[in-house]
Homo-oligomer: A and B are copies of this chain.
Amino acid sequence: MTIATAQPPTTAINFTRGVPANESFPIDEVIEAADAVLESHGAAMLQYGPSLGFQPLREWLAGWQGVALDRVLTSNGSLQLIEFLCLRMLRPGDVVFTETPSYDRTLTLLRRHGAKIVGIPLEADGPDIAALEDALKSHAPKFFYTIPDFQNPAGATCSGTKRRQIADLAERHGLLIVEDAPYRLLRYRGREEPTLYELAPERTLHMSSFTKLIAPGVRTGFMIGEPKLIASLAKAAEDTYISPGYLAQGITLEWCRRGLLLPQIEHLKRLYAPRLEACLASLDTYMPDAIPTRPEGGFFVSLTLPDGVLIGADLPVPMNPVTLLVDSNPVSTEYAGGAPGLINGVLQVNFKVPDLAPGSHQIQLQVAERRSPAGVNLQTK
């Protein structure tokens, strides 16, 4: 690989995190929805109410998801649903399975509850099933946290075959699957696979959110699952904040009721799909000896870097292929442990920024800088 001589861009480009583009927010529609729903449901939206969520929104979600109402729990974003699950299910030392790598904020919550995290290596087509089976022989995890669609941070999507294998293992081992699917509806091409919830509804908690569909600011995540567990999590929610944000939930409901969700998803696909293509093209141009995942949707591409590249933010390299972070934000060092998988060392790239070329170029320069002169194989702590 030729080291470029051009100047690096003068401003840093943040590639990481599942942060939607500001220009995707349907502000005018949100204003109209807020007006209308405060006129029609103002008192109910402004009062306390059940911690399960604003009832008309839950009813809408139940219809949309095709499930009974008592299977629907909402919260202020979906992350806090994981917090309630941890509160209810975990004691310090309990084992939880995650993919390796996995979403760093979930890992932080699991650690806060003292969970012993066992990582299942993530491959380009989903978790390593043999490793999952092996892990189930020596552990009885409280649940397996997985992001089957356009995974954060790796950009990998679980194949249909592996989904069926995971569902089958869940049935045989009494395993609870926590399926986090915030990016699922942002598929730019290719064929949709069934959700784990569809394959094993009694073994799966399915989670998603309006963060990537409307905006993070509505803080409206939801979970679909077994009614008794849902009720138990709702009690944890009530003890924590009494009611979730009904004002935002009412606005979200009205926006959905107006039929704006499907057109918005189409709009988002038109917005993000070319950026993904540009990202991959840019990486191919500037980093021809690195191997990117080539996702069919979502927000993330990860990159297996050439041998001998040191990780960003002065972190040592665990092994080759290695991890590098563009903005010193150690997202993809939040690995859960376990054996190295195909993308155990990744560069996480969030391609929501409109012009990837300067950033890709910056990556190239950083990679060039960080190539270990002697190919030293440092150990992580």
A46 at the interface (CB under 8 A from B): yes
Q: How far is the CA of A42 from the CA of B25 in the complex (A)?
A: 8
Task: Assess whether B77 is in contact with A241, with CB atoms less than 8 Å apart.
Answer: yes
Residues from 1 to 56 in A contacting B, C-beta threshold 8 Å:
19-20, 22, 25, 27, 30-31, 34-35, 38-39, 42-43, 45-48
Task: Assess whether A219 is in contact with B240, with CB atoms less than 8 Å apart.
Answer: no
Chain A interface residue count, CB cutoff 8 Å, equals: 45
A246 at the interface (CB under 8 A from B): yes
Task: Assess whether A27 is in contact with B43, with CB atoms less than 8 Å apart.
Answer: yes
Task: Assess whether A45 is in contact with B217, with CB atoms less than 8 Å apart.
Answer: yes
Of B20, B48, B216, B248, which one neighbours A19 at CB under 8 angstroms?
B48
A159 at the interface (CB under 8 A from B): no
Task: Assess whether A242 is in contact with B39, with CB atoms less than 8 Å apart.
Answer: no
Which residue of chain B lies nearest to A77 when distances are taken between CB atoms in the complex?
B241
Residues from 180 to 194 in A contacting B, C-beta threshold 8 Å:
none
A243 at the interface (CB under 8 A from B): yes
* Known A-B contacts A31-B35, A42-B25, A76-B76; A218 and B242 likewise in contact (beta carbons under 8 Å): no
Most buried by B among A76, A108, A243, A251: A76
A100 vs chain B, min Cβ distance (A): 20
Task: Assess whether A80 is in contact with B240, with CB atoms less than 8 Å apart.
Answer: yes
A359 at the interface (CB under 8 A from B): no
A244 at the interface (CB under 8 A from B): yes
Q: A79-B240, A219-B247 are in contact. List 6 more A-B contacts (CB 8 A).
A: A27-B46, A46-B214, A47-B215, A76-B244, A77-B241, A109-B240
A-B contacts, 17 of them at CB < 8 A, read A19-B47, A22-B43, A25-B47, A27-B39, A31-B34, A46-B217, A47-B216, A76-B245, A79-B241, A108-B239, A219-B243, A219-B245, A219-B247, A245-B245, A247-B248, A247-B251, A248-B248
